[in-house]
Each structure stands twice: as structure tokens, then as C-alpha cells.
Amino acid sequence: MNRNLYLKVVTIFFAATTYICSAQTRQISGKVIDSISSTPLMGVTIQNGTQKTVSDANGLFSIALREDVAVIFTILGYHRKIVVLSASDPFPVIDLQPAANLLDEVEVANTGYQKIPLERVTGSFSVINQKLLDRVVSTNVLNRIENVVPGLLFNKGDAAQTDPFLIRGRSTITADAQPLIVVDDFPYDGDIRNLNPNDFEQVSILKDAAAASIWGARAANGVIVITTKRGQFGAPTWTFTANTSLQGRPDLNNVSIMSSADRVEWERMLFEQGYYNNAKNPTTLLNKVSPIPGAVELMIKNPADLEERLSELKKQDVRDDLKKYFYQTSLKQQYNLSISGRGKDLSYLLSGGYDRNSTNLNGEQYERVSIRSQNNYQLTGKINIFAGMAYTESFQQTGENPGLNLSPTRGLSPYVRLIGNQGEALPYYGDYRKGFLDTAGSGLLQDWVWRPYDEITLRENKSHVRDMTLNTGLEYQVLPGLDLILKYQYENQLEAGKDLHSENSYYARDMVNRFAQVSAESGSVAYPLPMGGILQENNSDLGAHQGRLQFNFMHHWGVRHEISGLAGYEIRNKVTQTSNYLLYGYRAESAAINSSVDFQHNYPSNINGNTTKIPNSQGIGKQTDHFISYFANAAYTYLKRYTLSASLRKDEANLFGVAANQKGTPLWSSGIAWRIDEEKFYSVSFLPRLKLRATYGINGNISRRSSANTTVIFLSGGDSHSFTAAQILNPPNKNLRWEKVKNWNVGIDFSSALNRVSGTIELYRKNAVDLLAEAPTDPTMGFTSIYANVGGMKGSGMDILLESQNIKGWFSWRSNLIFSIAKTEVTKYLMPVSSNGFTYAASGMSVMPVVGKSLYSIYSYSWAGLDPQDGDPQFFLNNSRSKDYPTIYSLPLEDMQYNGPVQPTHFGALRNTFSLQNMELSFNISFKAGNFFRVNSIYNSGIINGSTGHGDFGKRWLKPGDELKTTVPSMIYPADPIRDQLYQYASSLVAHADEIRFDDLNISYAIDKKNLGKIRVHQARVFIYLSQLGMIWASNKAGIDPDFNNVPKEAPTFSLGLNIKF
């Protein structure tokens, strides 16, 4: 801040107060303009104490003032300016500096209820401005807020299966952990992919209690508040954005698979050991049907050129065919055009966007059309009416292309060929043996062969989403300093999912054939499951009405006291209806008929002889969320130095129990901020801005899993009678209530002289209580466990944001560093999931709470190396090497090794921006640390059953001495599944996930104010953007990229883009 100006203002204020007694009121007229374009600015608030007016379309204003007083000029998007209007100046022209021109300096956070200047807040806010949002090219909004603010973590790799993104760690056991997303002041209920990030002006992240608690029972996970663009500039301004992104095929070799040569020799060993004897001379239907590896089929056939053909197979790698034919280079295109402006009484914005994406998987496409408009109408000086709408329509289509995951249940054979020499699809006998298919149904059935490459186009899995949001409202100035705001929003999202396996698809043919009833004598076939395609439709209809009545107030008493706040209530009604049904015998040219399908009768199946019913799937569902909330907050500032804030909110919902609704205590927060730099004694010249703040409060979280009422499901009959019976699902719990997260946050904001270094450091502590979890209960109640508010967690951490201007001038260099620590652990959980430690090791990414540990944790068996005699895995049991697998397998959790959390505890990013005149280059490097992942390896029992097998097979123990070089056990037949499972969860197969990544790079060239032909360009920018640039460093010794742990590794993305304002 300009200290001179500040001194001036203080002096003027001082002078002004001495005038008060004698001064006379008179009318002063003037004009407000944009400091750069000199265009008049409309809607600027001009205020002196209780005197307030707004500039008109020509930027003109008139205000009644006592002589020579300081007047504050404010409008969103511009810097606030304080000017002393003197009688000597007959027509003052005030120029306001656009905020966007001051790089990265953001002043206002939006909570969804009010906009607060960051300099006055007590709580923890992070703000992402438009420039930063536009730096990234993406269809989805979430990509644009990644790695730019502290405290917001996007989990990657295996951890992504836990929580996709979190603000300051997870603080719930079973309820939803995703932050609340608010768009234009109301919670957004639709799919986040409906939102076009080009429409965004700003994103505020609310992290602590003081920031978020205005959202009450939904605030515990933090809040992401998205503000869309509004009409702003005087003359109509067009903005056009276009970009195209290309991403190469993923690296399939990142997935380790057993080499084809190893595989063939392994299968030969199994064959010689007699594992395939039943398949050799099949006597049962099961043996005829169950698929066996291609190499074994050859061995059974035993042709003269067997060895030659086997060595052919050994050269195959199924990933080559997959990469070439199933994967592709993805292409993403994005266009957006908007017009906005501000007329005499009206401001408007109309924006349209179009996205078209193809993904790396052949056959996948996504298209999105979005339209948004927002209009404000100044009815009188006191009443402002606004209305807006947003409409998004998207189409997503995928074919039958699971990529490398082609045969998830049986495992894809590494040497199988999917594509012939002429590029034709080859059959894959991965489900049934060829011999069975050739003779099944005496040759009367339709083709039963699976040709995976053909299947890509034979399935149309489409999702069509239409989302419409309408909002309207008014602002009315009841009294100077007191505004009434009424807002209403309606959102409707319709989603139609249509998954058609066409009549020629393998899926449909397989289903039809399985149920076909062949009569051998007559040679006729009956089709209980009719021939034709199989269509699954899923529809959902979400409707949400939200209304809000709110008073905003603001008052100054001289320069000493300032109070601002709001109070109001809101009501919310969200209904989601779903329906789904399945149709058999679908033919594109005629209507589907499945009325003739008999779902009651049991039919013998052609693949196993079991009698089963034809699967049927129909259902409807309806979910209703009702909320009534009352809220208030206020901030009081004294001498511009001390700010006290408090907020209060009470939620009542149909998800809570009667007691919680009637007597429930409100959620609240309070905070304090101290501008040390404003103190007279403060004289640290190198740190002209210094602010301390602290907050405490309670945020809530809700779960839809439990009901406060007794709920039942109906059964079609009892066990001994046919009257309807009803089973009680949960007992009535009138005390069911929201979860509570108690939050402490202390922060310091500072900046050095000339803003060279500025930043924020925050420490926080969270204590989550009343978490919903299963708990044992007195069985006298009729239940041995109950889902109630009984769990607890705690968390603590730190968020740091540092910005520095390393070099200023014609060449500039700026750095932005974000760093966060977020640790959470369970403090109270009454019902241990299992007494057996193995359950925890094998839990994958499911929630298995253990007191004192992070909610998602990795446990393992202490590795004790391989047995030098036979290559068996050994584990430490009571401090000595053991191969007592059953005993180790049944160890309790306490006797297992705790490795650590799945989610990173330390994370951050460093962004450097260099500019040289109109050129700008920036790149982001991010890091994550403190978490662990499990390294994949070979599973002995699996490769006997035919699963794909891991490349570690090549590193297995073969002879004494190998134990010094490898940790992969010997592969034995027959296998011992317990030995295999213990090895899978051995401590040797757990690695640190610490990593540093090169996130992205943006190079742009900007042109300001040029005339291109007849069009006057305000601003134009062309850029190249590279993302997913890969890992720079990882701590694990195996060289595994923790973000792509044994999955196809994404290739870098290259984008080219253009933004023009004219």
C-alpha cells in the first residue's frame, strides 16, 4: 500500500473532523473512469460515511458532501480509491486502476454470502484469480485449481482411490469428505464437469472455521466458492478463447507383465505337471468350457511344429496390439466466446462455450456446449435486480474398450494376438475354449466368438447430461448501510444414460447363447433371452430449489469504528429421482420388446448347466434433501487495526433427528485480526505489512447413510407365510446430528518493502467429534451395533504461501511457493473392523479406522528375506525369521508393521514466472511426500489360475544364492495361497511415495491495444501450454512413478491457445 496516500488520508480525515461543526453541505459532481482505457465506469459506489451514491452509465456521479472530505470509490474489479473532494475542484475526474492489471494481487474473497477484502479477514482464505485460472488448459474446473493454493490436495496414483481432493486433510470416517462446491452463492448440486472454467472470474477456497462456518453443517470439508464473470466494462467487450490439446498414447510398458517367453515356459511346466489333464481329456462341461491358455491348447494338440509355434508366441507382447489399436492420441478442443458490457442501467454478460474431446482410449468422446448469461438491472438508485441462467449440455460416449484391462476377471494372456496381419480383429478365447464354442449348441447357436477389437464399436455407452440453472434476485437498499438481498436459484440436471450392447456385440451374443434352449432332435432353438441387442438405460433427474433472504449491514462511526455483517435464512429443497431398466432383444430399427421375456423361470445355462433366471434390472429411486438454515455473521474493526469476527449458523434438515433439529446447538466461529503495521509503535521498515490473526470455530458435516427415523425394507413374504414382511434397517435415533469439526487457525500475513516478498503462514488444528460410525451398543436395545455420532478424528498442519518478485523491470522474475502439511488420525473408533491384521493389509483403499492411525493406512508383514534353501518368503515373527504362514496370517494388527498413510502429509508447489516485455514463461513444479504405496509383484497362485502375471516373475528365486540378488520368492506348483498373500503384503513391497513432478509449462505472448484492421483489440494472448511433464524425482528405489503405479502412464499434453478481448 502506498504509505504516502495513507498519510494523506489520515491527515484529511483529521482535518475533516475539525470542519464538521462549521462546514456546510453541498452537491459535488464528478466522473469516474478506467485509468487505462479512460472509459467511463458505471456502478462505482461513492461513499462518505452514510452518504452513498453510485455512478451512472457515463461514469457521472453527484454526492452531497460537506466540504473537503475523503470519499471512497469502490467497484469490483478495480482498486479502491480514497480521494478528498475539494470545493476548489468543480468537476473531479477520478481514475480507478483495474485490479487485473496488478499481477496476482487479489483483494476480495467471496464466501458465497459476502465479499470480504482479504486485508480485513480473520479466517483462512485462498483466492485464485482469473489469470491463474486461465493459465491452465482444461475442460474441468478442478484441474485449474490444482497446485496453486496451499491446503488443497489432489490425491494421485493409488491415493486417488481414497479421496480425489481434500482441503486440509480428511476429517470424517464415513460421511462425504469432498469439499462443498458453491457456484454463484449457492451449493452446486450438478456434476462438476458441467461447469465451463472459461466462465469463471475467481475461485475462493475457504479453509478454516471463520471462513467456512457460514456454511454450517456442510462446511467441515472446506468450501470452494466459484464466482462467474459479470458484465463490467462500459462498452461491449468481446472475449474469444480457443485452444487445442494433444496427448500421445500412454506408456503401457509402465504396467509390468510377465514376459511371453516366461509365460509359455511356465505353462509348459504346468502342462507337464498335469495341471491341464482335465482340459486335455475333458469329461465334464466345466472342463470343456473353462478357457485355458493358447500355448496349452497348442501343447494338447501337439502339432509337429509345436516348438516353432511356441517360440512365435514368445515373441508376442499383447501390449503392442493394444497400444496401436486400442489407444490413440487424444485431441481436446475448447472454444469460448463471450460478450459483456454495462449500459446505463443494465450490465450484461453472455457467454457460450464448446468443448470437444477425444480421449486416449479409442471410441471415447466427450462434447460439451455451455451457455451462460448474467444480467443486472438498476431499477432505481436503491433497487438492483439480477437474473441469470446457465445451460450445459454434454455428451459422453464410450465403446467397449477397457484398454489394458480387457479381461479383468480372468487375466489377459501376455502373448495373445488381438489383431491379424491385415489389421483384422482376431478371436480371443479368454472366456470359453475354442473347442466348446465350435460345438456348442450343436452348431445351432449364433456366433459365440469374442473379437475384442471389433467390440470397440459394437457398444454405445452414452451419457447425455442437460443441466440448467436459473437464478434471480434483488438487492434493495433499505437504509444507507443496510441492504436487503433476496436470491432464488433453481437447478435442474437431467442425465440420460444409454448403454447399448448391439445385437452383434459379444456381450449380447454371449447372453443370448447362454440362455438359448437347443433341442437336439428337432434341431430347433428357443431363445428365452431374445436375440438382439441389450440396452440398459439409466436416467436421473435432479431438481434443487434454493432461496435466501439476507440483510447486509455496514456502518462507520468516524474513522474509529467500523462494523459490517449479515444475517438471514435460507431454504433448500433438492430432489433426485433415478430410474433404470434393462431391455433385451433391442433392434435399432424397431422398438425393443422384452415384455415376452420370462424373468421368473429358471433356464439351464449352456455354459455350466446351472439353472438361472434371466437377469432383470429395473428400479426407481428418489432422494430428498430438505434444509432450513439461519445464519449471521459480523465483523467489528477498531481503528483499522483490530478486527473481531463472529458467525453463527443453525441448520435443520430432514437428514437429522428431531432432537438435533429442535434443540441442536448452532455451529459458530469467532476470530480476531491485528494489523500490527498500523500501530504507532511499529517501525519495521523491511516489513511494512504485518498482520496476525487467529480463529476458532466449529464446522459441520452430514451423512446421508443414516436416518433419524425407523426405516424398513419390505420383503415379499415371510419365511413361513406369504404376507408382506418388513425388516427394520435402523432404529430411530432422534439424536442423529451433523458431525462437528472444531477448528483452530492462526495465521500471519506479511509483505516486505515494495512487495518484494509477501506471504501467509498458517497453523491449524482440527478436532473432529460426533463422527458417524458404527459402534457396538447394548444388545438389549435389539441391535449389537448402531450407526451413530460416536467417532473422532484429529488433524493438524500448516499452510504456507510465499510470493516473491525476484527481478523487477523490463525483465521480471516472480516465484510463488505453496507448502502444506496435513496430518490426520483417528482418535475414537469403537468397533474394530477385525481382530485379524490381514484384513487391514488387504483392505485396499477402503476405510478401516484404527485409533492413532491415519484413516487410510498401509500395514505389512515384516520382511525377513528369502529362505536360502528354497526361496520361500520369510517374515519376522516374535523377532525371528519364520515360515509359519498360517500363524503369521492370523496375526493381530498390533503385531504387524505400520508403514504409514496412503495420502501425502506434505505437499506443495513452486511456480516461477519470467516475463520479458510481452513474453511470459511460467512453470510449476509440485511435490508430495510422507505417504506410502504398495509395489506390485508376482502372485504365485494367480499365474497358475491364468492371471496375467507380473514381470517380477523374471526376477524370482531360482537357486541358492539368488536370495542375495532378489526379493521375489521362488514360484512353486502347487502354490500355497497363504504364502502368496503374505508376500503380497510384505514390508519389502511397500515404498515411500515421495516425489517431485514437473507439472506444467506455459509460454505466452500478449498484445495490448492493437488495431487489427477495423477491430480494436484490447488484449490478445497466444500461448503454448505443456502439462503432465512427468516425474523429476521419486524416493522409491524401484523407480516407480507413484502417480502411475503399475497403470498405463500418461504422456505429456501439448496445448496451443489464444485469448482475444476486443
Partner 1 sequence: MMNTNLCAFGIMACMPFLISCRKEFLDAKPSQSLVVPRTLDDYQAILDHDMYVNGSGTSMRGPVPALGEISADNYYVLDEDFNNRLTPQLSNYYVWSEHPYTGDDENSWNYPYLVVFYSNVVLDGLKTLDRSSEPEKYDLLTGEALFTRAHAFYQLAQVFAPFYIKDKAATEPGIPLRLSADINENNYWATCSETYNQILKDLLEAIPLLADRPLIKTRPSKAAAYGMVSRVYQTMQVYDLASIYADSCLQIQHDILDYNQLNANLTYPFAGGEQENPEVIYSCNMVHNSKNPINPLFAKTDSTLYSTYADQDLRKKVFFRESNGQRFKGSYAANTVNFAGIAVDEILLIQAECLARQGQINGAMDALNELMSKRWDNHSAFIPILSVNADEALSLILRERRKELLFRGLRWTDLRRLNAEGMNIHLYRKVNNKVYDLPPNDPRYTLPIPDIVRSFQ
According to DSSP, residue 412 is labeled: -
Among 21, 754, 781, 1038, binds partner 1 (CB under 8 A): 781
* Binders of partner 1 in range 540-569 (CB under 8 A): 549
Q: Is 198 in the site for partner 1 (CB under 8 A)?
A: no
Q: Is 831 in the site for partner 1 (CB under 8 A)?
A: no
Size of the site for partner 1 (CB under 8 A): 56
Q: Is 1038 in the site for partner 1 (CB under 8 A)?
A: no
Q: Is 728 in the site for partner 1 (CB under 8 A)?
A: yes
CA 1035/CA 1028 separation, integer angstroms: 19
CA 840/CA 893 separation, integer angstroms: 7
Other Cβ atoms less than 10 A from the Cβ of 908: the count is: 22
Beta strands, E only, 946-1052: 990-992, 995-1012, 1015-1027, 1031-1034
Q: For the CA atoms of 403, 408, 413, 415, what is the dihedral angle to 10 degrees?
A: 10
Which three-class secondary structure state does DSSP give residue 959? coil
Taking the complex as a whole, the smallest distance from the CB of residue 859 to partner 1 amounts, in Å, to: 23
State which residue, 189 or 1043, has the beta carbon closest to partner 1: 189
State which residue, 285 or 575, has the beta carbon closest to partner 1: 575
State which residue, 133 or 655, has the beta carbon closest to partner 1: 655
Q: Is 622 in the site for partner 1 (CB under 8 A)?
A: yes
CA 498/CA 464 separation, integer angstroms: 8
| SS3 track for 316-342 | CCHHHHHHHHHECCEEEEEEEEEEEEE
Taking the complex as a whole, the smallest distance from the CB of residue 620 to partner 1 amounts, in Å, to: 7
State which residue, 483 or 799, has the beta carbon closest to partner 1: 483
Taking the complex as a whole, the smallest distance from the CB of residue 180 to partner 1 amounts, in Å, to: 18
Q: Is 720 in the site for partner 1 (CB under 8 A)?
A: yes
Other Cβ atoms less than 10 A from the Cβ of 1011: the count is: 9
Taking the complex as a whole, the smallest distance from the CB of residue 836 to partner 1 amounts, in Å, to: 15
Taking the complex as a whole, the smallest distance from the CB of residue 178 to partner 1 amounts, in Å, to: 19
Q: Is 723 in the site for partner 1 (CB under 8 A)?
A: yes
Task: Tell me which residue of 861, 824, 866 sits closest to 971, measured CA to CA.
Answer: 866
CA 700/CA 737 separation, integer angstroms: 9
**Phi, psi for residue 583 in degrees, rounded to 5:** -120, 135
Among 10, 715, 958, 1015, binds partner 1 (CB under 8 A): 715
Among 11, 610, 624, 834, binds partner 1 (CB under 8 A): 624
Amino acid at 466: R
CA angle 859, 860, 866 (to 5 degrees): 170
Query: Is 356:332 a contact under the CB 8 Å cutoff?
Result: yes
Q: How far is CA 922 from CA 642, 894, 911, 919, in A?
A: 38, 48, 7, 10
Among 731, 865, 1030, 1052, binds partner 1 (CB under 8 A): 731
Among 625, 867, 895, 962, binds partner 1 (CB under 8 A): 625
Stretch touching partner 1 by CB under 8 A, among 7-15, 317-325, 386-394, 722-730: 722-730
State which residue, 543 or 942, has the beta carbon closest to partner 1: 543
* Binders of partner 1 in range 637-666 (CB under 8 A): 652-656, 661
* Binders of partner 1 in range 467-486 (CB under 8 A): 476, 478-479, 484
Side-chain-side CA neighbours of residue 777 (13 Å): 18
Query: Is 791:828 a contact under the CB 8 Å cutoff?
Result: yes
The grid coordinates of residue 696 equal 476458532
Amino acid at 687: L
Alpha helices (H) along 914-1047: 940-945, 977-984
Taking the complex as a whole, the smallest distance from the CB of residue 722 to partner 1 amounts, in Å, to: 9
State which residue, 711 or 941, has the beta carbon closest to partner 1: 711
Taking the complex as a whole, the smallest distance from the CB of residue 386 to partner 1 amounts, in Å, to: 18
State which residue, 304 or 713, has the beta carbon closest to partner 1: 713
Q: Is 707 in the site for partner 1 (CB under 8 A)?
A: yes
Among 45, 278, 472, 735, binds partner 1 (CB under 8 A): 735
Among 308, 589, 719, 894, binds partner 1 (CB under 8 A): 719
State which residue, 658 or 763, has the beta carbon closest to partner 1: 658
Taking the complex as a whole, the smallest distance from the CB of residue 570 to partner 1 amounts, in Å, to: 11
Q: Is 379 in the site for partner 1 (CB under 8 A)?
A: no
Taking the complex as a whole, the smallest distance from the CB of residue 738 to partner 1 amounts, in Å, to: 14
Among 408, 558, 604, 776, binds partner 1 (CB under 8 A): 776
State which residue, 246 or 725, has the beta carbon closest to partner 1: 725
Query: Is 568:532 a contact under the CB 8 Å cutoff?
Result: no
State which residue, 17 or 784, has the beta carbon closest to partner 1: 784
Taking the complex as a whole, the smallest distance from the CB of residue 915 to partner 1 amounts, in Å, to: 52
Task: Tell me which residue of 184, 144, 185 sits closest to 165, measured CA to CA.
Answer: 144
Q: Is 711 in the site for partner 1 (CB under 8 A)?
A: yes
State which residue, 732 or 1030, has the beta carbon closest to partner 1: 732
Among 60, 571, 798, 847, binds partner 1 (CB under 8 A): 571
Stretch touching partner 1 by CB under 8 A, among 225-233, 391-399, 584-592, 725-733: 725-733
The distance of Cα 146 from the centroid of its chain, to the nearest Å, equals 10
CA 830/CA 789 separation, integer angstroms: 11
State which residue, 1 or 729, has the beta carbon closest to partner 1: 729
Peptide bond before 974: cis, by omega within 30 degrees of 0? Answer: yes
Among 680, 721, 959, 1037, binds partner 1 (CB under 8 A): 721
Among 422, 522, 685, 727, binds partner 1 (CB under 8 A): 727
Q: For partner 1, what does the binding mask look like between residues 784 and 823, x meaning CB under 8 A?
A: x-x-------------------------------------
* Binders of partner 1 in range 660-699 (CB under 8 A): 661
Amino acid at 913: T
Among 129, 351, 777, 1004, binds partner 1 (CB under 8 A): 777
Taking the complex as a whole, the smallest distance from the CB of residue 112 to partner 1 amounts, in Å, to: 21
Q: Is 623 in the site for partner 1 (CB under 8 A)?
A: yes
Taking the complex as a whole, the smallest distance from the CB of residue 643 to partner 1 amounts, in Å, to: 30
Side-chain-side CA neighbours of residue 53 (13 Å): 16
CA 955/CA 952 separation, integer angstroms: 5
Task: Tell me which residue of 578, 568, 569 sits closest to 543, measured CA to CA.
Answer: 578
State which residue, 195 or 772, has the beta carbon closest to partner 1: 772
Q: How far is CA 303 from CA 20, 222, 416, in A?
A: 111, 67, 19
Q: How far is CA 10 from CA 5, 6, 560, 692, in A?
A: 9, 6, 12, 23
State which residue, 482 or 639, has the beta carbon closest to partner 1: 482
State which residue, 681 or 714, has the beta carbon closest to partner 1: 714
Q: Is 712 in the site for partner 1 (CB under 8 A)?
A: yes
Stretch touching partner 1 by CB under 8 A, among 13-21, 552-560, 728-736, 930-938: 728-736
CA angle 1016, 1018, 1021 (to 5 degrees): 115
Classify residue 858 by burial, with Cβ atoms within 10 Å: 0-12, 13-18, 19+: buried
CA 1003/CA 932 separation, integer angstroms: 35
Task: Tell me which residue of 464, 533, 532, 537 sits closest to 498, measured CA to CA.
Answer: 537
Residues that bind partner 1 (CB under 8 A): 476, 478-479, 484, 549, 571, 573, 620-626, 628, 652-656, 661, 704, 707, 709-715, 718-721, 723-729, 731-735, 776-784, 786
